[in-house]
Amino acid sequence: MLVQDTSALERIAIKFIRNDTNPGESSKLYGIMCCCKHQLEIFISHEEIARSVARLASEINHDYGGKALLLIGVLKGSFVFMADLIRQLGLPVEMDFIRLSSYGAARESSGKVKVIQRLSASVKGRDVLIIEDIVDTGGTISFLLDYLKRKKPASLRLCALMDKPSRRQISVPIDYLGFTVPDKFIVGYGLDFDEKFRYLPDICFVGD
C-alpha cells in the first residue's frame, strides 16, 4: 500500500488504539502505523506493563521502608514509566531529571555520553534511585552511576523498566527490573525512534 499522507494514517491509528477495547485489534492497528516505513508489533501490552510497574513499586516500598527517596529520571525515555511508578509508591519521594546524550536518529549508541541537562537537586547524603527506560550497552547508566557517586549520595540504586543483556558492553547492576528483552529496537511507553512513538501505551518492536 502506498500511503502519501502518513501522518494522517498515524493519527487515525492512534485514535483507534486509544479507544480500543480489544487488545487483539491494537496489534493490527500498530501494523498499519507504517509511517516512516517501519512496521510496529506489540511486544509487551499495557496490561503487562501495569502489572510489572505494580510489582516494582511494591519491591521499592518494601526495601526503603518509608524512607524519603530522590528519584532521578533519565530523560526523555523514562518519563512515562516514572509517572506510573511514582503513583504507586507509598514513600515521600522527590523527583529530578537528567538528560544525557541520546541516539538521535540512529539506532546505535555513539558510545560517548554527555550531560545535556543537569540535575537541579542536591544528591549529597540522599537515598537516590535512578529511573531508566532500558539498559542496552550499559554505557549511559555506567556513566550516570559514576557521575552520581561523585556527588556522594547516602545510597544509589537503579530501577530499569527493560534490560537488553545481549548487547551489554559494560556491566551494570540493575536493582529493580521490569522486563528482559531481546536484541530488537523497541518503541512506545516513553521510548522513541527518532522522537516518534513515545506516546504508544504498549511496548512495541520496530521492524525493518
Residues that bind ligand IMP (CB under 6 A): 74, 77, 103, 109, 132-140, 185-186, 191
Binding flags for Mg ion, 146-175, as an x/- string (CB under 5 A) = ------------------------------
Q: Which of 18, 65, 73 is nearest to 46 (CA)?
A: 18
Whether 9 and 35 have beta carbons less than 8 Å apart is answered as: yes
CB nearer ligand IMP, residue 5 or residue 183: 183
Type of residue numbered 121: A
CB nearer ligand IMP, residue 64 or residue 178: 178
Given the C-alpha cell 543537569, which residue does it identify? 118
Q: Which helix (H) or strand (E) holds 74?
A: strand 69-75
Smallest separation, CB 186 to ligand IMP (Å): 4
Is 73 a binding residue for Mg ion by CB under 5 A? The answer is: no
Whether 174 and 157 have beta carbons less than 8 Å apart is answered as: no
Smallest separation, CB 40 to ligand IMP (Å): 12
- Give me the residues paired with residue 205 across strands: 41, 186
Is 77 a binding residue for Mg ion by CB under 5 A? The answer is: yes
With CB cut-offs between 5 and 8 Å by kind, which of ligand IMP, Mg ion, none does residue 139 bind?
A: ligand IMP
Q: Please report the DSSP string for 50-67 in residue order.
A: HHHHHHHHHHHHHHHTT-
Positions annotated as catalytic residues are 136
Is 139 a binding residue for Mg ion by CB under 5 A? The answer is: no
Is 133 a binding residue for Mg ion by CB under 5 A? The answer is: yes
